[in-house]
Amino acid sequence: MAHILFLMSDTGGGHRAACRAIEAALRERYPDGFRFELVDLWKEYTPFPVNTIPRSAARWIDIHPSSFSAMFWVWDRLFRSRWWSALYCKQMFPRLKRLYAEHPADIIVCVHAAFVRPAVYALRKMRIEKPFLTVVTDYAWPQVLWYDNKVDRCLVPTEAALQRGLSLGMDRSQIILTGPPVHPKFSKIDILQREARMQLGWKSDKRIILMIGGGDGTGPLVSSARAIDARQLDCELVIVAGRNRALKSALEAVNWKRPSRIYGFVDNIEVLMRASDLLITKAGPAAITEAAVIGLPILINGAIKHQESPNVEYVMKHEAGVYAPGPTKTAECVARLLQTDGALEKLAGRADRIAEPDAIWKIVDQICLFAPPMDQRLEEIQACRS
């Protein structure tokens, strides 16, 4: 049984979701072929205060997004320098050395930009002959840290991401255009909208607007929802606050004029998407690609400059969604879409321009190229069972 080690961190960007998507696809194709470990490197292998990044990143983005985007911009330029990159790798080496000692694996899959270079540096320096693959979760213009020509494969979501890798010195044989990692459940959902609503207990024939802010509930959810509610449109709101309990409480305290449903973290977001008529989200890559696969119209109501703003450009270029930043513009755009005959249907029909339902299987195929031969794994499985 091949052991896959995922290197990630819960700092937004769909890193954990990407791991779970890959894991689900591999389990579906090879039920007994793999076992998996997820390690949050910031949380488990760095000292205070760096180890607080996973729980503070969402709050940082909400409170001061301009400083977060500035950090992204600085890092993207700083780590083009070989000197800075080498210093970072050497500083992280003792931690990565301990990681590999404590989590031996057959294949290492990295889904977080901050760990690609130090992790592959440590692996090669320690002469550990294990394959190292990067699955890029940033969408249209990934940060420079994603790219390192010492990896075995760099799997990218878009043509723009591929071209950036080539411009940064990646070999064409290393970098593979697969599409973004989306959980198989999004392409396999086979129920109609009314069936999804029945499953959820939504007794409604009105247009339903789904608003999400990712697993951490980031973005202007409260202000945008209140702006939409104030227009008294013929619709209902469904708002997912994710793990953000304070946000959920704030939403529940609002005296809504329109029928509204407030959720915390959900594990059936694909059903909520199928039951809805429009998704409002910030420009995170996970929500965009999941909605596109479902065929749900997308309204992007915000984007972190430098990190997420290229995603907006990508969606708009393909006419697969609309961009209305800020509560006022968001509410105006929702009103226009609801009051224009066929507008939502037209938008939904263009979602497949960026949908990549087969991407997860292309990613799985690349990982399997580096797995021990299947006959060897079957022998190991049989030995474990006997």
The CATH number assigned to the domain holding 7 equals: 3.40.50.2000
Burial-class residue 200 by CB neighbours within 10 Å (0-12, 13-18, 19+): buried
Amino acid 62: pLDDT: 76
Amino acid 215: pLDDT: 61
- 3-class SS letters over 173-242: CCEEECCCCCCHHHHHCCCCHHHHHHHHCCCCCCEEEEEECCCCCCCCHHHHHHHHHHCCCCEEEEEECC
Q: Which residues have a Cβ under 8 Å from the Cβ of 269 and sit 6 or more positions away? A: 212, 240, 290
For residues 220 and 103, state if they share a domain: no
Per residue in 33-44, pLDDT (tens digit) is 999 999 999 999
| Mean pLDDT of the region 10-21 | 88
Give the distance between the most distant pair of CA atoms in the chain. 66
In the chain, how many domains are there?
Answer: 2
- Name the CA dihedral angle for 323, 329, 335, 340, rounded to a multiple of 10 degrees: -50
Cβ–Cβ contacts within 10 Å for residue 374, how many? 12
Per residue in 249-258, pLDDT (tens digit) is 999 999 999 9
> How crowded is the C-beta side of 185, counted as CA atoms within 13 Å?
15
Structure tokens at 314: 């990508």
Task: List the domain range (segments joined by +) for residue 256.
Answer: 185-353
For residues 232 and 172, state if they share a domain: no
For residues 173 and 289, state if they share a domain: no
Q: Is the CB of residue 381 less than 8 Å from the CB of residue 1?
A: yes
CA distances 17 to 20, 22, 113, 145, 333, Å, are: 5, 9, 15, 20, 29
For residues 52 and 104, state if they share a domain: yes
Per residue in 160-217, pLDDT (tens digit) is 999 999 999 999 999 999 999 999 999 999 999 999 999 999 998 999 999 998 666 6
Burial-class residue 121 by CB neighbours within 10 Å (0-12, 13-18, 19+): buried
Q: Is the CB of residue 3 less than 8 Å from the CB of residue 107?
A: yes
Is the entire prediction scored with pTM above 0.85?
yes
Amino acid 385: pLDDT: 46
For residues 112 and 38, state if they share a domain: yes
Residue percentage of the chain with pLDDT more than 70: 95
For residues 79 and 211, state if they share a domain: no
For residues 345 and 205, state if they share a domain: yes
CA pair distance 375, 7, nearest whole angstrom = 27
For residues 206 and 309, state if they share a domain: yes
Amino acid 219: pLDDT: 67
What type of residue sits at position 174?
Q
CA pair distance 57, 63, nearest whole angstrom = 10
Amino acid 384: pLDDT: 46
Amino acid 374: pLDDT: 52
- Name the CA dihedral angle for 325, 327, 328, 333, rounded to a multiple of 10 degrees: 60
Mean pLDDT of the residues in the chain: 92
CA pair distance 69, 76, nearest whole angstrom = 11
Strand ranges (E), the chain: 2-8, 34-40, 107-110, 132-135, 153-156, 175-177, 207-212, 235-240, 260-263, 278-281, 298-300, 322-323
For residues 193 and 216, state if they share a domain: yes
| Mean pLDDT of the region 118-134 | 97
CA pair distance 358, 186, nearest whole angstrom = 11
Short-list 130, 83, 80, 85, CA closest to 109: 130
Per residue in 279-335, pLDDT (tens digit) is 999 998 999 999 999 999 999 999 988 889 999 999 999 999 999 999 999 999 999
| Mean pLDDT of the region 127-137 | 96
What type of residue sits at position 365?
D
Q: Is the CB of residue 239 less than 8 Å from the CB of residue 225?
A: yes
| Mean pLDDT of the region 230-244 | 93
Range in 9-18, 118-127, 135-144 with the lowest mean pLDDT: 9-18
CA pair distance 20, 24, nearest whole angstrom = 6
For residues 127 and 44, state if they share a domain: yes
- Confidence check: pLDDT of 378 > 60: no
Amino acid 216: pLDDT: 65
42 three-class SS: helix
For residues 146 and 214, state if they share a domain: no
For residues 21 and 60, state if they share a domain: yes
Per residue in 47-97, pLDDT (tens digit) is 998 899 888 877 787 788 888 889 889 999 999 999 999 999 999 999 999
